[in-house]
Chain A
Amino acid sequence: METPEQIRDRILARFPGASVAVVPNPGPAAQHSLLAGADLGREIATFLRDDPVLRLDYCSNVTGVDWPKQGFLEVVYHLYSMALRHGPVILRMRTADRADQVTLPSLTPVWRSCEFQEREVYDLFGVVFAGHPDLRRILMWDEFKDHPMRKDYVEPDDYEWEPTPHGDILAKARRHYPAPAAGAEGKGNP
């Protein structure tokens, strides 16, 4: 199978002016990935699927990653070929920021397996996929606000209060319920 540099060169030959770069991966696994710009994402994906040398017809995994320090959300696609038995080719796309410019092109029209996984990335990270046939929350309930897998997610503190050894849950519950009931202190609480 070709190296990521060769794939990048062929993508640039096919789509001149596209923003494609190789992201090296330190460590023993050496799974280097291709960073594609959001504007030609779907076209590049279609090229990767239909190209006779690569024929990446199977999208195995779609992952969202939150990079708060770098200031963007990232979606990583792991592509394999069932026809030619090779892979992985890893495709990444990054949003412009983490607040309101969080739209990326959906690759569900290219690979049907992205359908539920992109819904999950939307649900848990907040990335909006343009062109997804049915973009709504999948794991959380529909009226839920906020995106739980982001690094700056603050969980609600209205827990059912229980006497457990977990000091931080007790502290959060005390902030929410200001006066705990008398005699409700269990053993072993700090």
Chain B
Amino acid sequence: MSATDLPPLAPSPGPRIRAVHDEFHGDLLEVSMGPHHPSTHGVFRMNVTLDGETVMKLKPVFGYLHRNHEKIGENTSYLSSMPYTDRLDYLCSMTNNWAYALAVERLSGQAVPERAEYLRVILAELTRLLNHTCLAGFLLQDGGASGTPLMYAFREREKILDLFESLSGSRMMCNFQRFGGCRTDAPAGWLDSVRRLVDGYGKFLDEYEELLTGNEILMARTQRIGRLPAALAVSAGITGPMLRAAGVPYDLRKVEGYGFYPRFEFRVPIGADGDTYDRYMVRVLEMRESIKILQQALRGIPEGPVMDPKARLRGFRPKPGEVYSRIEGPKGEIGFYLISEGGPNPYRYRVRPPSLINLTLLEDLCLGHSIADAVVILGSIDIVLGEVDR
């Protein structure tokens, strides 16, 4: 859809509301949105100071889901920390697993066989599909489209979750990657099911876009809302689709080329305005690119082992050293920083959570907008509290 065949935009609500309020003299109202709130994506609280309906000040408060994951990581062996990484960003367990496995492999110099690398790319792109589908559904839910786009999104997400269940045994807490490859190989017929799903996903996206992308209500609610300038985004460490919607072409799959991503041809969508509508559209376009990557990976996946024969499951003690390694998760750059002193447990285990860093600018984006827009902006940042709080 090009910019020429969209209907003209509604005027931005900000300046009009300010003009009306200047005539009245009122007090500022402080509202605590959350932690029990259906639209805050988890136990998340925003202390909002309002002048009428306009946001004057916004302080995010979190820590309600803090489970001290990092201290558990210091007291648990490297292998036993893998199920805990599932529970960080609990929607995208496969990419969390891969980020941690990659960090430990870089720390210990462990090699990974080819089939495992292809399988990891397939699972990561499936995770990206399900995360962005979930986000599109929830963004519309927050905007008020009470349930219909959400249920259509979840209907498709269930198909991917069923694939994960038949591969790893669990829908969301997959615990599938190991240091040196994947835990098991794909059962017979699994790759064919993935091919069938991927071939049909484009049609689902077409139907979903027909429902949403040209929708005047969605455009009025999301265009020119929460504009993010590129320089501020870079300084604030924003990563992922939020950064690319602001116009900065930085995607770790291209910049760092971890795994086998350099073998696949795909484009990276960049936004023009940095507003909420761009963040939504960048994710929709990324889903289409993920389908392309999946088709290439499914064509090229070789036969072979999925686990390096020299990898050790128990008694794994990497040599002393430290490493920081990062991958492009669906929400942004998820990184793991590990310090090893040669023991069975890491000395320091740190997760760099994309959702937390992306929240740095929540106040900047919401100032001057109405409180209903604050909910939509939060929805477009795409946070998961399991990752923010760890």
Same complex for A and B? Answer yes
Binding site for B on A (CB under 8 A): 25-29, 31, 57-61, 63, 65, 76, 78, 82-83, 85, 88, 90, 111-117, 124, 137-141, 148-149
B360 in complex: contacting residue of A26, A60, A85, A115, CB < 8 Å? A115
Given contacts A25-B322, A26-B321, 15 further A-B contacts (CB under 8 A): A27-B108, A27-B319, A27-B322, A57-B235, A60-B335, A63-B348, A76-B337, A78-B324, A78-B335, A88-B324, A113-B238, A138-B62, A139-B389, A140-B63, A140-B66
B359 in complex: contacting residue of A57, A60, A116, A140, CB < 8 Å? A116
B326 contacts across to A, CB distance below 8 A: 60
Q: Does more than half of chain A's interface fall in helix, strand or loop, or is it mixed?
A: loop
Asked whether B308 is an interface residue with its Cβ less than 8 Å from the other chain, the reply is no
Closest CB in chain A relative to B317 CB, distance in Å: 12
A138 contacts across to B, CB distance below 8 A: 62-63
Are B66 and A112 in contact, CB atoms less than 8 angstroms apart? no
Instruction: Report how far A50 CA is from B170 CA in the complex, Å.
Output: 48
Are A27 and B107 in contact, CB atoms less than 8 angstroms apart? yes
Asked whether B18 is an interface residue with its Cβ less than 8 Å from the other chain, the reply is no
Known: A58-B234, A78-B337, A112-B235. Contact between A27 and B348, CB under 8 A?
no
Q: Which of B71, B232, B235, B352 has the most CB of A within 10 A?
A: B235
A124 contacts across to B, CB distance below 8 A: 70
Chain A residue nearest to B238 in the complex (CB): A113
Instruction: Report how far A83 CA is from B63 CA in the complex, Å.
Output: 33
Are A29 and B322 in contact, CB atoms less than 8 angstroms apart? yes
Cβ-Cβ contact count across A and B, 8 Å cutoff: 105
Instruction: Report how far A83 CA is from B255 CA in the complex, Å.
Output: 11
Asked whether B350 is an interface residue with its Cβ less than 8 Å from the other chain, the reply is yes
Instruction: Report how far A57 CA is from B232 CA in the complex, Å.
Output: 11
Asked whether B236 is an interface residue with its Cβ less than 8 Å from the other chain, the reply is yes
A149 in complex: contacting residue of B71, B235, B322, CB < 8 Å? B71
A28 contacts across to B, CB distance below 8 A: 106-109, 319, 321
B356 contacts across to A, CB distance below 8 A: 116-117
Known: A29-B106, A116-B359. Contact between A61 and B323, CB under 8 A?
no
Closest CB in chain A relative to B51 CB, distance in Å: 21
Instruction: Report how far A112 CA is from B237 CA in the complex, Å.
Output: 7
Asked whether B386 is an interface residue with its Cβ less than 8 Å from the other chain, the reply is no
Instruction: Report how far A138 CA is from B44 CA in the complex, Å.
Output: 12
Are A27 and B318 in contact, CB atoms less than 8 angstroms apart? yes
Chain A residue nearest to B333 in the complex (CB): A60
A-B contact pairs, 24 of them (CB 8 A): A25-B321, A26-B320, A27-B107, A27-B318, A27-B320, A27-B323, A27-B340, A29-B106, A29-B325, A31-B323, A31-B324, A76-B337, A78-B324, A112-B360, A113-B235, A113-B237, A114-B237, A116-B356, A116-B357, A116-B359, A137-B63, A138-B62, A139-B66, A149-B70
Are A26 and B319 in contact, CB atoms less than 8 angstroms apart? yes
Chain A residue nearest to B347 in the complex (CB): A65
Asked whether B250 is an interface residue with its Cβ less than 8 Å from the other chain, the reply is yes
Listed from nearest, the 6 A-B pairs whose CB atoms lie closest are A27-B321, A113-B237, A28-B109, A29-B323, A139-B63, A112-B236
B250 in complex: contacting residue of A25, A82, A139, A149, CB < 8 Å? A82
Closest CB in chain B relative to A35 CB, distance in Å: 13
Are A148 and B357 in contact, CB atoms less than 8 angstroms apart? no
Asked whether B4 is an interface residue with its Cβ less than 8 Å from the other chain, the reply is no
Are B350 and A61 in contact, CB atoms less than 8 angstroms apart? yes
